[in-house]
Amino acid sequence: MASSIKVSLRKKANKEGLFPLVVRITKNRKTTYLYTGQYIEFKYWDAANREVRKSHPNARRLNNLLIKKLAEANQTLIDLQTHKKDVSTKQIKKEIASPIAKTSFKEIADNYLRELEKSNKLQRLSSDKARIGHFLKYVNNNDLGFHEIDENLLRRFSFYLKTTRQVSQRSIVNNLIVIRTLYNHAIRLGIVDRKLYPFGSDKIRIKFPETEKIGLTIQEIQTIENLEGLNNPQRHARNLWLFSFYFAGMRVGDVLKVKWKDIYDDRLHYRMGKNEKLLSLKIPDKVRPILKSYEFITPTEDDFVFPELKNVNHKSPKEVFNKIKTSTKKLNKYLGQIAEIALLDKKLTMHIARHSFGNISGDKIPIQMLQKLYRHSSITTTINYQANFMHRDTDDALEKVINF
């Protein structure tokens, strides 16, 4: 039976709801797909003409790519049929995919970062862009192929991060995770053979190290509450830190996004930015003076309680993200000054408010209630997080052994 090679849109969307442009290879009623690495919305595919509709902003570029891939595939099939009487769809795919194997790590990485930006996954974009940059700087080769990324290279890169860049073991693991993610992309696209995969139990193992989370004590928080003589930026930073702490360690991005209309029926209603979960909490008495001090700044209910995001274009997620990022950096600077004034020997940042709530709650609150307050999807996440602060059982056990 004759072989058939056509460009197509596979009707299996990714997490973002986009569909992959593929080269479809059919022989003896068996079909396999060669992915181009490009994804579009279903409405942009012209099935009759097997091309991307002109209404797509990158239609010309994508259609040129499809023409090129189709021509390469047909030429490869002709070459195979010239030398072999019979070949399978898998053999055809393998031979067609071989030119793609020249695709470099940087090309796949750039495409990955573009997809993150299109999906507005800006926090991950910011983190992974830096990690990819570290790896490309180390190898100093923009044409590096995936087949060149082996165990030895990754071990040398890890050593470089630890000694030259002097980053934590957790940061080293995060860098390796990004490389692993891109390597998996390359395998799915047929760019590199799975047998070359450098990760696994007998190769490069990715294991998160235990991290120590340190929060403030009740006495240390009372010291911050009662500090006098702070300047305006310091008082503002303290207000936001306490606001976060009083609401169970609310994340800084969520704090800055609170509007007056989110406060009604004596409760704060908000949607967590990290996982889109809704939360409704009673307004603690300690929060009321903080809210009162900002009422004259934001008189309308549709305005923000805190001023950081007032003049930001909220139709631009990137602008909002960048503003939150720079604001957090500025707030942490003033919190560092407050820690010095309060004579604290612990680091003070906006995120420490979350650790402090966990530290003080310890094992006083049922774990199921803490899961609600933290809005964790899994109680296992809450247990693992709270384990950093629950010491009573081990302390009691130690006392029973040594007090004789």
- Identify the CATH number of the domain in which residue 248 sits: 1.10.443.10
131-170: per-residue pLDDT in tens?
Answer: 999 999 999 998 898 988 999 999 999 999 999 999 888 8
Give yes or no: residues 154 and 26 share one domain.
no
Number of domains in the chain: 3
Give yes or no: residues 250 and 264 share one domain.
yes
Averaged pLDDT for residues 5-32: 86
Give yes or no: residues 178 and 286 share one domain.
no
pLDDT level of residue 333 (50, 70, 90 thresholds): very high
In a domain, 309, yes or no: yes
pLDDT at res. 194: 86
Give yes or no: residues 335 and 241 share one domain.
yes
In a domain, 388, yes or no: no
201-210: per-residue pLDDT in tens?
Answer: 888 888 876 6
Give yes or no: residues 118 and 146 share one domain.
yes
pLDDT level of residue 211 (50, 70, 90 thresholds): low
Give yes or no: residues 179 and 225 share one domain.
no
In a domain, 54, yes or no: yes
pLDDT at res. 182: 95
Give yes or no: residues 238 and 346 share one domain.
yes
pLDDT at 258 over 50: yes
Give yes or no: residues 240 and 328 share one domain.
yes
CA 114, CA 31: separation in Å to the nearest integer?
A: 30
In a domain, 203, yes or no: no
In a domain, 318, yes or no: yes
Integer-rounded Cα Rg, in Å, for the chain is 27
72-101: per-residue pLDDT in tens?
Answer: 778 777 766 665 556 676 666 666 655 444
Could you list the residue range(s) of the whole structural domain that residue 16 is in? 4-100
355-403: per-residue pLDDT in tens?
Answer: 888 777 756 666 566 665 666 566 665 555 555 555 455 555 545 555 5
- Among the candidates 100, 128, 158, a domain finishes at 100
- Identify the CATH number of the domain in which residue 180 sits: 1.10.150
pLDDT at res. 101: 47
Give yes or no: residues 265 and 322 share one domain.
yes
